[in-house]
């Protein structure tokens, strides 16, 4: 694992010393938007019009943030319109790579060996982390956006007039409730598992893991009287929660020590996760081989021998 400093790759683990043992996530830097007419979005510059076959998505099947984008691409039927690359699950001294391996889809655009080359191609002086997902413009050869919450939003609606499937996962009338729930889910769960798992001090881990399970308890209660987090149908916040829950027992419970309870011990959350897993073709975006091999294999400070556990055996049927 590493990062780019003025376009040069440095192999370096997260710095938690300067933050007292806490893992602090950095903001994504590429923030342009694809829009129906090519006008600027809520952030960034204009010029990225929704056109079939113009954009490419770089993801990791292991990564929950990338999976949000992958799920939206699937729900909106954009597979033919937005091409895809999938990195190798192992993230080592060169960060994400396109090294051959099970289910890897190489980079057809730059033929890069490493994802950081996509970043330096777009900005030869880039400084920062090299993360997935990355939404890339093949026409102008630049990164449009590398922030999954924004990529989800643009895929939700920008391509509606050029052949996307119907479905609005961020409906106008529910936006304020969705935003509020997104905040809880992001801080409490999506980033919560990382804050527990990457903590480097006992008291920080205990504090974070307790907070995580308090939010899971709250969500379990919330789902006792309703099927979805907000309103009567699935919205983006359900998919944002799903990507963490679907990894919970296979990766976070063991590798990140989020083990106060298994997800399967929560009847409502477990029912909900299985339902979303079986929704349309969403299960095709969930790759447990990549998930387990990435987490257990890529963090030597947590699991130095990189042994990947065989279990658990999960029954996803509904």
- Which residue ranges make up the site for ligand GSH (CB under 6 A)? 1, 28, 60, 63, 65, 95, 129-133, 146-149
> What one-character DSSP code corresponds to residue 296?
H
Residues whose CB is less than 8 angstroms from the CB of residue 160 and which lie 6 or more positions away in sequence, other chains included = 36, 166
Region at 257 (left for phi over 0; alpha for psi -120 to 50; beta for the rest): left
- State in angstroms the smallest separation of the CB of 129 from ligand GSH: 4
Residue nearer to ligand GSH on the CB measure, 197 or 213? 197
- State in angstroms the smallest separation of the CB of 131 from ligand GSH: 3
DSSP string for residues in 235-248: -HHHHHHHHHHHHI
Q: In whole angstroms, give the CA distance from residue 212 to residue 191.
A: 9
Catalytic residue among 55, 58, 61, 63: 63
Does the annotation flag 131 for ligand binding? Answer: yes
Residue nearer to ligand GSH on the CB measure, 131 or 250? 131
- State in angstroms the smallest separation of the CB of 312 from ligand GSH: 21
22 contacts 14 by C-beta, under 8 angstroms? no
Residue nearer to ligand GSH on the CB measure, 27 or 232? 27
Residue nearer to ligand GSH on the CB measure, 2 or 223? 2
- State in angstroms the smallest separation of the CB of 149 from ligand GSH: 6
Cβ neighbourhood burial of 37 (10 Å; 0-12, 13-18, 19+): exposed
Nearest 5°: phi and psi at 85?
Answer: -125, 145
Does the annotation flag 148 for ligand binding? Answer: yes
Does the annotation flag 147 for ligand binding? Answer: yes
87 contacts 159 by C-beta, under 8 angstroms? no
Catalytic residue among 55, 119, 126, 194: 194
- State in angstroms the smallest separation of the CB of 96 from ligand GSH: 6
- The distance from CA 54 to its chain's CA centroid, rounded to whole angstroms, is 22
Strand arrangement, sheet containing 55-59: 82-86, 55-59, 134-137, 142-145
Strand arrangement, sheet containing 128-129: 8-11, 2-5, 128-129
Residue nearer to ligand GSH on the CB measure, 1 or 164? 1
| Annotation marks residue 63 as catalytic | yes
Does the annotation flag 129 for ligand binding? Answer: yes
- State in angstroms the smallest separation of the CB of 306 from ligand GSH: 17
| Annotation marks residue 194 as catalytic | yes
Does the annotation flag 224 for ligand binding? Answer: no
CA distances, 147 to each of 4, 68, 270 (Å): 17, 10, 28
Does the annotation flag 285 for ligand binding? Answer: no
Reported in sequence order, the residue ranges of 112-203 that DSSP labels E, i.e. its strands, are 128-129, 134-137, 142-145
Residue nearer to ligand GSH on the CB measure, 193 or 223? 193
Closest CA to 236 of 175, 290, 284: 175
Would you list which residues are annotated within the binding site? Answer: 96, 129-132, 147-148
Would you list which residues are annotated within the binding site for glutathione? Answer: 96, 129-132, 147-148
The catalytic residue positions are: 63, 194
């Amino acid at each position: 694992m590493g990062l780019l400093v003025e376009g040069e790759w440095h192999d370096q683990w997260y710095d938690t010393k300067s933050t007292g043992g806490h893992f602090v996530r950095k903001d994504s830097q590429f923030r342009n938007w694809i829009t129906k007419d090519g006008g600027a979005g809520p952030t960034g510059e204009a010029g990225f019009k929704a056109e079939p076959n113009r954009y490419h998505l770089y993801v990791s099947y292991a990564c929950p943030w990338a999976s949000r984008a992958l799920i939206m691409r699937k729900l909106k039927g954009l597979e033919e319109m937005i091409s895809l690359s999938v990195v190798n699950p192992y993230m080592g001294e060169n960060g994400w790579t396109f090294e051959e391996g099970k289910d890897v889809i190489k980079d057809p655009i730059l033929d890069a060996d490493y994802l950081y080359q996509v970043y330096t191609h777009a900005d030869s002086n880039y400084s920062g982390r090299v993360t997935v997902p990355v939404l890339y413009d093949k026409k102008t050869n630049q990164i449009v956006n590398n922030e999954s919450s924004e990529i989800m939003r643009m895929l939700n609606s920008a391509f509606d007039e050029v052949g996307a499937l119907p479905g609005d996962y961020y409906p106008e009338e529910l936006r304020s409730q969705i935003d509020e729930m997104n905040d809880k889910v992001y801080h409490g769960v999506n980033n919560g598992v990382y804050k527990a798992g990457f903590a480097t001090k006992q008291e920080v881990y205990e504090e974070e893991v307790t907070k995580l399970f308090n939010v899971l308890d709250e969500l379990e209660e919330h789902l006792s009287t309703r099927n979805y987090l907000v309103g009567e149908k699935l919205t983006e916040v359900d998919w944002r929660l799903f990507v963490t829950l679907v990894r919970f027992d296979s990766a976070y419970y063991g590798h990140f020590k989020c083990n106060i309870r298994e997800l399967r011990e929560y009847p409502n959350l477990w029912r909900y996760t299985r339902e979303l897993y079986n929704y349309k073709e969403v299960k095709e975006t969930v790759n447990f081989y990549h998930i387990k091999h990435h987490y257990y294999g890529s963090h030597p400070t947590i699991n130095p021998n990189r042994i990947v556990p065989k279990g658990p055996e999960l029954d996803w049927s509904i």
